[in-house]
Structure 1
Amino acid sequence: MNMLLSEYNEEFSALIHQYQLTEEQLRFTGTPEMPLKIALTNPFIHPIVGIENGRLTNFFVLDEKKDVSLYTENEHAILLRTFSTDSRYQGQGYAKKVLQQLPKFTQELFPAADEIVLAVNKENSAAQALYKKSGFLPMDKIVEGIAGPQYVMTLGLL
């Protein structure tokens, strides 16, 4: 079965309530609840779910305007944020599948987009390695995040 990426809607709410993150994961990412709340009043915030075999394995947000300028001057960039894998499915390749489909999915959702940027915590070496394997390149930029310094990474589209 293929990984399905979809914009969040109410039909996924039961799955969201079952989504689990460990304390270790929460050092580097947030739960889906806050971005879902923000998205209700901010049309530029797009919560995305990764579903495989009826299970919600991944959650993330594509931000087309809100905080993009903190990371890049490119007005056509999309910010990937709050990327996580349900703790029950970690280490099983789901995040890799999501990131492999992300460029095509992003271009379908945002035809004008030509770049995806993200910030990853300096201490989160596992996530850095995953992003690098998925084609993201480090930029010469470090931003201060809630949990410490973050490397900014980019993936060109088109």
Structure 2
Amino acid sequence: MHFALTPYDSLSPTQQRQVLEIELLPEQIRHVGDIHGGLHTLTARPVADRQGFVLLIDDTPRGFFVLKRRSLLPDWARDRPRITTTLHALMIDKRFQGLGLGKQCLRALPGLTQALWPDTEQLMLAVEAGNHPARQLYLTLGWQELPESDPNHASVERLMLLRL
């Protein structure tokens, strides 16, 4: 099985159609949305501040995620003391889950991000508080869970940070 992460924009027309065939379990759609929503984020402007990536297994799309920076950062990632890139909509096709592909994407993420945007100093993401498997995976890979900004109002999401 050959693993590669490639920018969405560099896919062939056939591969771009195949991205639409990525399937998720209903509980995953609740956490990250579906592939149509993920692809919709690629319409954000300016183009220089976002990039969609596709996980190819033997040249067929089996996963997807989006990176954002600068003007496209969500509110929770703005005003940080370091230059931040955020991860969004990480999804692995349900037919290929349990093979460690999400973990491989996350392990490749720091190098991929710094190759794309060398000034990036840290990665951030938001994960639902109840998504314990994802939170544990991030922690295992060196991400830190940030404390609640307002301890009197528990959030449904937890912020995670990985310094590069």
Using the size of structure 1 for normalisation, the TM-score is 0.87
Q: In 2, Cα distance between the equivalents of 1:41 and 1:153?
A: 23
Distance 1:84 1:38, change over 3 A: closer
Q: 2: distance between equivalents of 1:100 and 1:2?
A: 16
Q: 2:18 aligns to what?
A: 15
Residue of structure 1 equivalent to 2:60: 55
% identity of equivalent residues: 25
Q: Distance in 2 between matches of 1:109 and 1:84?
A: 20
The amino acid that maps onto 2:54 is V
Query: Could you say which residue in structure 1 is the equivalent of 2:79?
Result: 73
Shift in Å at residue 33 of structure 1? 1.9
CA distance in 2, matches of 1:49, 1:68: 22
Matched, 1:31 2:34: yes
Check if 1:4 corresponds to 2:4: yes
Amino acid at match of 2:38: P
Alpha carbons 2:77, 2:84 under 8 Å: kept:
no
Greater strand percent: which structure?
A: 1
User: Mapping of 1:100-111 within 5 angstroms?
Assistant: 100-111=107-118
SS at match of 1:80: strand
- Which TM-score applies when normalising by structure 2? 0.84
Are residues 1:85 and 2:107 paired? no
Return 5+ residue gaps in structure 2 as ranges: none
The aligned counterpart of 2:121 is: 114
Q: Which runs of 5+ in 1 are unaligned?
A: none
Given that 2:20 and 2:35 are in contact with CA atoms closer than 8 Å, whether structure 1 keeps it comes out as: no
Q: Which residue of 1 aligns with 2:51?
A: 46
Deviation at 1:32, TM superposition (A): 2.5
Count matched residues.
153
* Superposition CA RMSD, Å: 2.0
Partner Cα distance (2:7, 2:148) in 1? 29
- Output one character per residue of 1:30-83: Cα deviation in whole Å (capped at 9) or x when no partner: 122223233234212211111122232221110113134423523510010111
* More divergent stretch after superposition (99-108 vs 50-59): 50-59
